[in-house]
Amino acid sequence: MVFNDTGLVHDAGTYAQASSITLHNVNGRAKLHLKVVSKASGKRVKGQVCFWNHSNGRFKLETCSPAFEFSTTGTYDFDLGRPTSWWSITGPGTFPWNKTPDVGRIMIKDPNTGELLMTSRCGSHCSSSSAVNGHVPIVMDAKLTFSP
């Protein structure tokens, strides 16, 4: 298990951030078990699991899973593929999976623009407040595992 968190909140100024990350085996596929406990609307959103490793400077090494979508409360299971094939700021397969990442988040985005459904703390990746209204807050329980 990589992380297993309950009550993760994503709102206009808060990332849904894993409280602790543990790596045992990254040779398999990433499986995300997501329970959307509450959601401000039935509007469709995109999500990604992203990790950062600060070994090359704060937030310099980043990797993100393929996107997944949901629109309502409920339980979802997503196969996110092999982490070594995920997008990385330095190219696929270059994220240092031999070290436990410093930060792990579930990034929630507007499905049309790809912008984060936040109005602060995300710089040029933030959405306008009109885009964020109605989408958030979203409360989730999330469990990420790697399996063969």
Q: Is 83 helix (H, G, I), strand (E, B) or coil?
A: helix
Cα 119 to Cα 102: distance, rounded to the nearest angstrom: 24
pLDDT digit string (tens) for the chain, length 148 residues: 899 999 999 999 999 999 999 987 677 899 999 999 999 999 899 999 999 998 766 667 899 999 999 999 999 999 999 998 999 988 888 898 888 999 999 999 988 888 888 988 777 888 877 778 788 899 999 999 988 8
* 112's tokens: 């049309």
Q: Which domain holds residue 62?
A: 3-147
Domain count, the chain: 1
Q: Are 142 and 29 in contact (CB under 8 A)?
A: no
